[in-house]
Amino acid sequence: MPQGFRILLAAQAKPLEEIDGPGPVGPTSAGWGVTKKRRPISKIACNSCRAKKIACDGVQPVCSPCANKVAKCVFRPPDANAALKKMLAERDRDASALVEHLKSLADGEALDFLHKLKSAPDLNTALSSVRCPTGNSGARPEPPAVETISPPVSPGASPSASPPAQWHIESELSVLHPAVYPPLSPVTPGSPAVYGDSCGDPTGHFDGDYLAHHYLSVPNAQFGSNGLYCDARLERLEIGYWTRVPISNALAASVLSLYLTRDHPVLPLFDTELFLADLVEQKTNFCSAFLVSSLLCLACQAYSVTYPETWTLAAALSDEAERLWRAEQSSDSIVTVAACLCLRGVYALRGQDVLCQELALTGRKMAERLHLFGVNPDAPAAAALGAKSAEWTRFAAHVAWGAYNWLTLAALNYLDQPIVYPPNFPIPGDAVGAAHSPASTRDINGQPVPPLDYLPPYMARTFPEACRFFTICQGLANAYFGQCQSPLGPVALAFAEAKYRELLAWSDGLPREMLRGGHSHPHAWILHTWFHCAVLGLFRPFLSDHGAQTLLRSFSSPDGCPQSIFAASLKQLQHLTLTYCLAQPRLTHSPYIGSSLMQALVPMLKEPGSQDWRFYLTVFLRFCEDLYVGHPLYAELAQAALSIAMRHGLMTGAEARDRMTGFWQPRCHHQGSPIQTSISTLVVDFDMALTDVHASRISNVAREFQFLIMFDELTANQDFEQLNWAEAQPAFQDFS
């Protein structure tokens, strides 16, 4: 030992009970004290500890220093990268728990668990049983479903796959806006619903029990005593007072109940409470023969999908409604506005565009004369609306916003003239807007009027959210098409990004019942498809120029450009429409999803090397064949899709003809040939619409069907080439 240093004695041992706080004790340190390990300081500090510059343990929702001082504890929201890391770590733990749980089960139990996993509406629901399989209260608690976020899983990918090295825009949107960009589970071609009947009711019988179980997940639905109708007042319906068409009271009540629960919530044209009250009590304040005939016709068309014999009633009702329209179109009334647009929907779904456009113009001009919309909020006419009665204001608000939504949707799908100003009425069903409605809550007879924020249970929150959505879309339509029905040229990318942020902010405010999942209303799915169609239309003009790769300032992903956002929304739209066609009962299939189906299918047919087009086309054609029974427009949609497929060399003329055979079966009972008489101007090829609106409409695309088949048959080797058709097309057009 070196000299000159004092020898130090060993430290005296202390009893363990004198040590301040617990500490790790090694196998050779019994009886000896160990220095207390300092608790690590959390990387996340609350605002209070951060301001006082004191150590924060990061315990949420209230850290220890704030709990001791009874101070307000607020943590900063994590940045996007931190949220993604947390989400990926959570997903990795869930996948590990799933694998370990499967390993611990017997063969029979593992098979049962796999069946439960397959039938779960989402992955988080399936994993909830794994997180706490034995009911152990000490297990990690399950977070609320609305806050649970899972990363997207591509078809065929393993749940425990390694996280991506970089954060891409699809992952960023999934984390920050899960309401409209949720993780997607794969849909395989082996699904029995592709070739079997996807209707949840095998018999196709429409009754109240089926409707309540599969459609109305609300406890206070006003079913009648016999359980057949969505509203008990329909049991007292005397339909003979309103129409000369021989239809029974029971059938009229049934078709109205189907319409009110399936189609009315997403595109309502009148207030249900006031309409049904006048309908049953035979009053004409908020009901008329014109409105009843138009509504019954639209409802019978939908009902004929299940019961084809009601199509003859729909034809008779449309003739009656057209006569009444000619008689009442000169008399301005909010009830007549609703009836005109309701009858417009009848002819739109038949593909008869001449009457459709005439009715739309009549209803729009009448609504503008009544100052329902298109009025500057600062104009004196807008202020005069507040002097009306409570019941008139309530009914007018439903008509104004319903007509506004219908016409804005037509501006997006038909490239019709958009509306300049939205309605000045409060949004029906909106508690905030109801506070500004007239104070009176009784009608002229002293009867109570439902408050403006009341909606029937079967409508959920779809209508008020649709009103907010179409208000954003109105700005999009005016900027892209203006007051002429043709593209005005590209807009600034800054405008498109700002509109996209508005759409995302709208989606972040959707109530839980409007989110996609196993318990959401079917009409909420329609609104989700419209959202992604709006995003596609917003960024489509930028895909053909240098703006496709321009990064947007709102996102931190290295691929946050219009092209990537377009691809993300297209992927969501394709998954949405495919799931809707396969998973939803046929009785709940809405005819208003046709344009969304085409916008999801057409890019798949144009994409070189696409592997899924045949599966999606099969599902699409089966869906069109089902709805064609009540809505002839869907035969044109099917022909247009097959024309595009043949144009791009995906199938031969013989195969396309075989695919259309189902539309020409004897069960298709429409008088004449709807395929030849339909001349709809619905846009089906929005890529082509950027340069040639006329050629992009369904009537022109579907007309190519026979020419393409003839061209294929005249080709010697039966091998269709896109270049050959492009060269031969002018000759066939001259021949036609």
Q: pLDDT for 334-366, tens place per residue? A: 999 999 999 999 999 999 989 999 999 999 999
DSSP H helical ranges for 304-389? 311-328, 334-350, 353-369, 380-384
Distance CA 190, CA 178 (A): 28
Distance CA 523, CA 317 (A): 26
pLDDT score of 295:
97
Whether 183 has a pLDDT exceeding 70, the answer reads yes
pLDDT score of 40:
52
Rounded to an integer, what is the distance from CA 199 to the centroid of its chain? 20
Global confidence as pTM = 0.72
pLDDT score of 185:
78
Beta bridge partners of 231: 222
- Condensed to tens digits (0 to 9), the pLDDT of residues 546-585 reads 777 888 888 888 888 999 999 999 999 999 999 999 887 7
- Nearest of 272, 233, 237, 286 to residue 444 by alpha carbon: 286
DSSP H helical ranges for 613-697? 613-628, 633-647, 653-659, 674-677, 686-689, 693-696
- Based on its alpha-carbon atoms, the radius of gyration of the chain, rounded to whole angstroms, reads 31
Alpha-carbon dihedral 86, 91, 94, 96, rounded to 10 degrees = -110
Q: Determine contact, residues 561/500, Cβ cutoff 8 Å.
A: no
Q: Determine contact, residues 163/81, Cβ cutoff 8 Å.
A: no
Highest mean pLDDT among 97-101, 412-416, 453-457: 412-416
| Burial bucket for residue 100 (CB in 10 Å: 0-12, 13-18, 19+) | exposed
Find where tokens 């895909």 sit.
Answer: 543
pLDDT score of 464:
94
Distance CA 47, CA 191 (A): 52
- Nearest of 422, 418, 417 to residue 372 by alpha carbon: 422
Q: In the predicted model, what is the mean pLDDT of residues 657-668? A: 72
Distance CA 130, CA 128 (A): 5
Phi and psi at residue 176, in whole multiples of 5°? -85, -25
CA angle (260, 596, 321) in 5-degree steps: 40
Whether 696 has a pLDDT exceeding 60, the answer reads yes
- 227-241, 333-347, 512-526: least confident range: 512-526
Phi and psi at residue 406, in whole multiples of 5°? -60, -50
Q: In the predicted model, what is the mean pLDDT of residues 116-120? A: 61
Ordered by start, the domain boundaries in the chain are 51-82, 209-485, 562-735
- Condensed to tens digits (0 to 9), the pLDDT of residues 436-495 reads 444 445 554 555 556 666 788 888 889 999 999 999 999 999 998 775 555 556 789 999
**Local structure of 149: helix, strand or coil:** coil
Rounded to an integer, what is the distance from CA 374 to the centroid of its chain? 27
pLDDT score of 54:
87
Distance CA 259, CA 315 (A): 17
Distance CA 142, CA 125 (A): 10
Distance CA 349, CA 631 (A): 5
Q: In the predicted model, what is the mean pLDDT of residues 57-74? A: 83
* DSSP letters for 591-631: GGGHHHHHHHHHHHHHSTT-SSHHHHHHHHHHHHHHHHTT-
Under DSSP, the state recorded for 264 is: T
Split at pLDDT 50, 70, 90, the class of 620 is very high
Distance CA 495, CA 261 (A): 37
Q: In the predicted model, what is the mean pLDDT of residues 589-597? A: 93
- Condensed to tens digits (0 to 9), the pLDDT of residues 478-488 reads 998 775 555 55
* DSSP letters for 48-94: HHHHHT------SSS-HHHHHHT----PPPPPHHHHHHHHHHHHHHH
* DSSP letters for 429-495: T-HHHHTTS-S--B-TTS-B---TT---GGGTTHHHHHHHHHHHHHHHHHHHTTTTTS---PPPHHH
Long-range contacts of 503-507 (CB under 8 A, 24+ apart): 503/469, 503/472, 503/531, 503/534, 503/535, 503/538, 504/177, 504/180, 506/465, 506/468, 506/469, 506/472, 507/177, 507/179, 507/180, 507/531
Q: Is the dihedral of CA 347, 351, 353, 357 positive or negative?
A: positive
